[in-house]
Structure 1
Amino acid sequence: MATVTTGSTPTAEDRRRQVVVTVAEVFCVVGTLVGLGVLGTQVEDSAGGALAADATLLAPAGPAFSIWTPIYLGLLGYTVWQWLPEHATDRRHRATGWLAAASMVLNASWLLVTQQGWVWVSVVVILALAATLFALVDRLQRTPSYGVGESVLVDGTFGLYLGWVVVASAANVFAALSSSGVRLDGGALATVLALVGVGLVAAVGVGLARRFGGRWSVAVALAWGLAWAGWGRLADEPASVPVGLAALVAAVVVVAAATQEHARLTV
């Protein structure tokens, strides 16, 4: 187990970071309430329905979005965790705190942008979110966890977050194309593009497994999103057996890549 690296007293910079993370979490909660329809329009009903679970062949089925529950609870837990005295000055939180805050702001911004129907702007936002989370998990990878609690709460939360956002980014691009008039809910072109999209997501999943030593949280979130996209094409509308089967195979490939990387590192 790694030793927590702390200073004697939190610096002004440490306090600023903690406050910014907390404010970002509040903003994220507000954005979530907007996206849930409490303070605005539900995501699936915004932007003319372009982001609904049945809008394109690459959209995950509705139950897939339940992954946001552990992610949002994890972000709340992280916000509290980083205020604990033993974490205020440790290098892990110093390395990731600002990125964590940025991810929360981008998350809320995405929800607010989609309320305006700006689907292509939402693509830019979600890609920025994916890049931010990649940088954050990369820093976690280079700074060992302090124990089980840290691994579950911090690494687990941001791993799930990154994995899901990769899948969501692909679905978001398809939604933007659909909103621009490209038919992506069926037909030969839609099927080919969806198969390419599934292949790209799987390739990213394999790359992330190699980059981050087969982090299970990343792989599980990616596989979860792909599996529900597959289920949606096989059991719901818009239907596509080729895309459904490809997405399910891609989910297995991502998990297999993480398993192989774990095995390689433990030899």
Structure 2
Amino acid sequence: MSAMTFERPVKPAARSIAVMASVLVAIGAAPVLSALGLMDAATFAGDGDQTLRAAPYAFSIWGLIYLGVFVYGVWQLVRQTPESAPLRAVAWPSVIALLGCGAWLFAAALDQKALSVVIIVTSASAIVAGLLRAGPHRGEVGPGTRFFIFWPLSLLAGWLTIASFLNVITVLTAWGLIGPATAQPAALAGIVGVLIVGSAVVWRLRHLAYGLPIVWGLIAVWAAEHADKPQVGLAALVAAGLMLLVSLVAGRP
């Protein structure tokens, strides 16, 4: 009687290439726009400053996110990287989210406000959904697979979550739907919304990395607003503390 043999699942080559290509699109979009002399993301985001703003340093987190997703892209492209349920769950959602990151920069550069909201909300929803599908399978893979998937993509998902709220507020302000009389209530509603959505996702995902970019962004809001809008700044700081607490509890081993 011959011994039974089990073949290791093979990763689809097209999927691996698509993931890596989307990583390069996300990282390469900003230099392309700069070379073309088009409007940068900071100028676009400035349209919402009268309602809610984050200190400019907040956006430096993209350096860490780009590094993380590049490592993820290379890792999943390597032939020796095993196929796994978590990778299957996040691969195509990560393609959508990363292409969306690049597309959003072009939408912002062309001042396509409605399109920018559609792109960023779609990107955030796709990567959050992929991570939530991958979560139940986390225990089926080794620490290396967990690190290369959940850390970089959770950081991306967390930042896209808070950025979606800021983007919506920016667009509504630019369109005049949020004016001086409603700016503070709208800002407070945005902060509360970020806290509710972020807490709900990190509690289900059970990974600290998702919450950290949200905490970072909320602290940047406090830094920008506490002098001119003390109530908004205080709300952002309290929300950052609560988000950190929830993330630490949810992310416990």
Is the shorter-chain TM-score for this pair beyond 0.5, marking a shared fold? yes
| Cα distance per residue 1:79-130 (max 9 Å; x no partner) | 1100222325333222221111111111111111111111111011111011
Assess, with a 3 A threshold, how the Cα gap between structure 1 residues 262 and 23 changes in structure 2: closer, same or farther.
closer
Quote the Cα distance in structure 1 between the aligned partners of 2:131 and 2:56. Answer: 27
The equivalent position to 2:93 in structure 1, one of 96, 99, 109, is: 99
Partner of 1:209: 202
For the 8 Å contact 1:34–1:42, the answer to whether it is kept is no
Contact 2:87 2:134 in 1 (8 A): no
**Residue of 47, 51, 57 corresponding to 2:51:** 57
| Structure 1 residue 66, shift from structure 2 partner | 1.0
Amino acid aligned to 1:10: V
- The unaligned stretches of length 5 or more in structure 1 are 1-5
Contact 1:109–1:125 under 8 Å retained in 2: yes
- Runs of 4+ in structure 1 deviating by more than 4 angstroms, as ranges, are none
1:92 partner amino acid: P
Deviation at 1:166, TM superposition (A): 1.1
Compared CA separation, residues 9 and 153, structure 1 to 2 (3 A): closer
1:222 Cα offset (Å)? 0.8
**Displacement, 1:229?**
0.7
Query: Would you say 1:140 and 2:164 are equivalent positions?
Result: no
The 1:100–1:7 alpha-carbon spacing in structure 2 relative to 1, beyond 3 Å, is farther
Structure 2 partner of 1:224: 216
Aligned partner of 1:109 in structure 2 is 103
Cα offset for 1:165? 1.0
Query: In structure 2, which of residues 15, 30, 43 is the aligned counterpart of residue 17 of structure 1?
Result: 15
User: Is 1:255 paired with 2:248?
Assistant: no
Distance 1:120 1:223 in 2: 26
CA contact under 8 A between 2:218 and 2:237: conserved in structure 1? yes
Residues 94-103 or 191-200, more deviating: 94-103
**Residue 69 of structure 1 aligns to which amino acid in structure 2?**
G
CA–CA distance in 1 between the matches of 2:205 and 2:174? Answer: 35
Name the counterpart of 1:240: 229
Q: For residues 47-196 of structure 1, what are the structure 2 equivalents within 5 Å?
A: 49=44, 51-52=45-46, 55-144=49-138, 146-182=141-177, 187-196=180-189
Runs of at least 5 residues in structure 2 that lack an aligned partner in the other structure: 1-5
CA contact (8 A) 1:141 1:212 kept: yes
The Cα shift of 1:207 comes to 0.7
Question: Which residue of the partner structure matches residue 3 of structure 1?
Answer: none
Q: For 1:7 and 1:18, how far apart are their aligned partners in 2? A: 19
Q: In the aligned structure 1, how far is the partner of 2:81 from the partner of 2:133?
A: 16
SS of the residue 2:77 aligns to: coil
Q: Please report the TM-score for the alignment, with normalisation by the length of structure 1.
A: 0.84
- TM-score normalised by length of structure 2: 0.88
Per-residue deviation, residues 173-223 of structure 1 (Å, max 9, x unmatched): 111012212455xx441011111111111111221132112x211111111
In the alignment, the residues of structure 2 paired with residue 33 and residue 197 of structure 1 have an alpha-carbon distance, to the nearest angstrom, of 31
Distance 2:189 2:147 in 1: 33
Instruction: Please report the RMSD computed on the Cα atoms of aligned residues, expressed in angstroms.
Output: 2.2
